[in-house]
């Protein structure tokens, strides 16, 4: 279906204030509070979101780049994107992530993008992997390559609503490497893309698997940290 027909049938309405015209209006967009560069693990100020030594060993990522604080209107935007299936929002969100990545990349590293995979069960119920949609937009905006180098091995319960310890046990061993992409991942800087980071156990588990398969450096890029 063309965009014009979709717009006719479902006129865009701001997911936060409900005004007609766009999925996020200019007023609400201006209210998004972006995160200043810090170590996203512990909150210490840090240029380009480079993680401190402690957090680097904890999360396995050298940069943990976060776009905005987890508050309104961002919550409504992410909710609209994930649960109300307003997939066109991935264009805006992905573009913001692309800008964030550019602003915080002062390296000359060869970068590839890897989306955090969604388990098949949830892919079937939701119909799309939000991390992959965001990644596709970043790929398009920056001309980088997005590769589905990770896949889920086991069905994990949703991370929200579990205690910290349960979350870690829940995610351990959950990801497998897709060896088709070994040559691309080997020796590259991999940027893991996800929508929301909770405890970071998903990110660190993904980072571990990528490291084991030759990635030189791992960064993570997320919309918000809950
Ligand atoms: Zn609005
Ligand atoms: Zn830290």
Instruction: Tally the domains of the chain.
Output: 2
Q: How far is the CA of 153 from the centre of ligand 2 (A)?
A: 30
Q: Rounded CA gap, 25 and 23, in Å?
A: 6
Nearest-ligand number for the alpha carbon of 73: 1
Nearest-ligand number for the alpha carbon of 32: 1
Q: Tens place of pLDDT for every residue, the chain, 226 residues?
A: 567 777 777 789 999 999 999 999 999 999 999 999 999 999 999 999 999 999 999 999 999 999 999 999 999 999 999 888 788 899 999 999 999 999 999 999 889 999 999 877 777 777 789 999 999 999 999 999 999 999 988 665 665 565 666 555 567 788 999 999 999 999 999 999 999 998 999 999 999 999 999 999 999 999 999 9
Q: How far is the CA of 54 from the centre of ligand 2 (A)?
A: 6
64 shares its domain with 101 = yes
Q: Rounded CA gap, 118 and 55, in Å?
A: 25
Q: How far is the CA of 25 from the centre of ligand 1 (A)?
A: 4
90 shares its domain with 25 = no
Residue-number span of the structural domain to which 7 is assigned: 1-31
Please state the φ and ψ torsions of residue 168, each to the nearest 5 degrees.
-65, -45
- Model pLDDT, residue 61: 98
Nearest-ligand number for the alpha carbon of 51: 2
Nearest-ligand number for the alpha carbon of 43: 2
Ligand 2 is an ion; its neighbours by CB within 5 Å are 39, 41-42, 52, 55
- Model pLDDT, residue 74: 96
- Model pLDDT, residue 127: 79
77 shares its domain with 110 = yes
pTM: 0.90
10 shares its domain with 109 = no
103 shares its domain with 164 = yes
Q: How far is the CA of 163 from the centre of ligand 1 (A)?
A: 34
10 shares its domain with 98 = no
CATH of the domain at 204: 3.40.50
8 shares its domain with 79 = no
Tokens 């609503």 sit on residue: 161
* Pairing mode, strands 63-68 and 217-225: parallel
- Written as six digits, the tokens of 162 are 């579990």
Q: How far is the CA of 60 from the centre of ligand 2 (A)?
A: 11
- Model pLDDT, residue 1: 56
Distance of CA 96 to the CA centre of its chain: 11
């Amino acid at each position: 279906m063309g965009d014009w027909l979709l717009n006719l049938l479902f006129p865009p309405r701001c997911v936060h204030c409900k005004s007609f015209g766009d999925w996020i209006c200019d007023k609400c967009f201006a209210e998004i509070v972006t995160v200043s560069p810090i170590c996203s693990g512990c909150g210490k100020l840090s240029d380009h979101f480079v993680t401190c030594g402690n957090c680097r060993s904890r999360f396995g990522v050298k940069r943990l780049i976060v776009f905005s604080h987890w508050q309104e209107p961002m919550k409504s935007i992410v909710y609209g994107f994930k649960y109300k299936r307003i997939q066109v929002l991935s264009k805006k969100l992905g573009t913001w992530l692309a800008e964030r990545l550019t602003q915080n990349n002062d390296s000359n590293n060869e970068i590839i993008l890897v989306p955090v995979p969604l388990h098949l069960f949830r892919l079937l119920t939701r119909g799309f992997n939000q991390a992959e949609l965001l990644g596709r937009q970043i790929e398009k905006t920056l001309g980088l390559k997005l590769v589905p180098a990770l896949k889920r091995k086991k069905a994990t319960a949703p991370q929200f609503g579990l205690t910290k310890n349960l979350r870690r046990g829940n995610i351990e061993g959950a990801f497998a490497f897709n060896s088709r992409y070994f040559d691309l991942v080997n020796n590259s800087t991999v940027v893991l893309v996800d929508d929301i980071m909770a405890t970071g156990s998903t990110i660190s588990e993904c980072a571990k698997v990528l490291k084991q398969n030759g990635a030189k450096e791992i960064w993570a890029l997320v919309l918000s940290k809950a």
